[in-house]
């Protein structure tokens, strides 16, 4: 029922960096429920509210604390696990943090990627490897059209630049090391703004709104007019898993970059998200927009998903309204202490797959 990947992951050893994070924890649950042996490598969760903690994932998968900047330790982990497939999700993922700590941002997102591919290169069990980047890897021209996989990489703020670089590193490793026979098949996944229960990162609109709701405080909305490719967390995860399936079954013809975003007509602004959330939780308070120093963040950003739709047979399952409904349901389930959150996540995976 939840295996949309022809059973390919059942009994496979799957290594994920960033399993303690938002996407990594959801992906670990889905893989676990499909019968994969899941091995995670990441920094410890930041708070007790993180999805990794609330779902008690540490007891269900094999997790090791580790830093992706530590090349030797990451390689040792790969060689102990001997995975069939590896996904790289560990990163510094926040634009504002990248302004506060640019050196750490670049170290983690560039050298972390290099160390991941070195570990893949030196571990012969790995048949497929996928680097998770972002829609922000593209040079943003603030134009109306969606970015295609062969558009130029770029990035003005340190986070976007680091993810553009992470893509260039991926391409370099594919061309230099992973194009030969008997090497791992390598690709990257570029997705937009992902939302869903269990994400408690600072300075993301929905976590900020839910935190405010819990504490009875108002939330100030940054850039309400900014259009973002909002997606429920399982949409890109479905894409990464589909890509992994294709690399494992079809090989190098699926190497390279892949966009996973909403349908072209499903691009909504930060203000639209706020309005949709307020329909579900009318008590949420919104303050006047922040007047703090405005850091540069891309205003208009769309992804063209034609390649994934046609060649991977992947497409988004939820429309905007359903995306917000799935997301808010996940948070409200967390706010009720009686719930077993792991079971709630599995139920959402089932409901998502049934769409």
Ligand X SMILES: NC(=O)c1ccc[n+]([C@@H]2O[C@H](COP(=O)([O-])OP(=O)(O)OC[C@H]3O[C@@H](n4cnc5c(N)ncnc54)[C@H](O)[C@@H]3O)[C@@H](O)[C@H]2O)c1
* Shortest Å, Cβ 216 to ligand X: 26
* Shortest Å, Cβ 43 to ligand X: 3
Q: What are the start-end ranges of the E strands in 18-127?
A: 37-42, 62-65, 85-88
Q: Does 43 bind ligand X (CB under 6 A)?
A: yes
Q: Does 197 bind ligand X (CB under 6 A)?
A: no
Distances (CA, A) of 291 to 97, 221, 223, 228, 285: 19, 10, 11, 21, 18
Of the residues 8, 31, 34, 42, which one makes contact with ligand X according to CB under 6 A:
42
For ligand X, how many residues bind (rule: CB under 6 A)?
24
Q: What are the start-end ranges of the E strands in the chain?
A: 13-17, 37-42, 62-65, 85-88, 128-132, 185-191, 194-195, 219-220, 227-228, 231-232, 256-260, 268-269, 286-287
Nearer to ligand X, 15 or 183 (CB): 15
Which residues, 4 to 33, sit near ligand X by CB under 6 A?
18, 20-24
Q: Are 331 and 176 in contact (CB under 8 A)?
A: no
Nearer to ligand X, 54 or 183 (CB): 54
CB closest to ligand X, residue no? 21
Q: Are 39 and 61 in contact (CB under 8 A)?
A: yes
Q: Does 115 bind ligand X (CB under 6 A)?
A: no
Segment interacting with ligand X, rule: CB under 6 A, options 189-197, 269-277, 289-297, 318-326: 189-197
Of the residues 34, 53, 57, 191, which one makes contact with ligand X according to CB under 6 A:
191
Which residues, 131 to 170, sit near ligand X by CB under 6 A?
132, 134
What is the contact mask toward ligand X in residues 62 to 101, using x (rule: CB under 6 A)?
-----xxx-------------------xxxxx--------
């Amino acid at each position: 029922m939840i295996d949309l990947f022809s059973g390919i992951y059942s009994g496979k050893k799957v290594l994920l960096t960033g399993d303690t994070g938002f996407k990594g924890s959801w992906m670990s649950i889905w893989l676990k429920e499909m019968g994969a042996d899941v091995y995670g490598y990441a920094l410890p969760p930041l708070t007790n509210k993180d999805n990794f903690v609330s779902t008690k994932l540490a007891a269900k998968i094999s997790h090791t604390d580790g830093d992706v900047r530590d090349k030797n330790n990451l390689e040792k982990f790969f060689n102990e696990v001997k995975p069939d497939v590896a996904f790289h999700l560990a990163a510094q993922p926040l634009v504002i943090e990248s302004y506060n700590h640019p050196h750490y941002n670049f170290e983690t997102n560039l050298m972390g990627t290099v160390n991941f591919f070195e570990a893949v290169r030196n571990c012969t069990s790995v048949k497929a490897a996928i680097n998770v980047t972002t829609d922000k890897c593209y040079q943003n021209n603030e134009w109306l059209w969606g970015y295609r996989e062969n558009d130029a990489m770029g990035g003005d703020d340190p986070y976007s630049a680091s993810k553009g670089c992470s893509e260039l590193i991926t391409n370099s490793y594919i061309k230099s090391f992973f194009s030969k026979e008997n090497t791992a098949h390598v690709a990257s996944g570029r997705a937009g703004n992902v939302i869903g229960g269990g994400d408690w990162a600072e300075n993301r609109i929905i976590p900020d709104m839910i935190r405010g709701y819990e504490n009875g405080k108002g939330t100030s909305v940054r850039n309400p007019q900014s259009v973002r490719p909002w997606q429920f967390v399982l949409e890109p995860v479905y894409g990464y898993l589909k890509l992994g399936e294709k690399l494992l079954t079809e090989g190098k013809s699926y190497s390279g970059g892949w966009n996973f975003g909403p349908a072209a007509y499903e691009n909504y602004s930060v203000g639209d998200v706020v309005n949709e959330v307020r329909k579900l939780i009318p008590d949420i308070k919104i303050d006047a927009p922040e007047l703090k120093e405005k850091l540069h963040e891309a205003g208009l950003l769309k992804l063209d998903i034609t390649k994934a739709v046609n060649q991977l047979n992947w497409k988004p399952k939820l429309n905007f309204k359903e995306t917000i409904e799935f997301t808010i349901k996940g948070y409200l389930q967390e706010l009720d202490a009686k719930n077993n959150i792991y079971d709630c996540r599995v139920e959402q995976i089932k409901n998502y797959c049934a769409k």
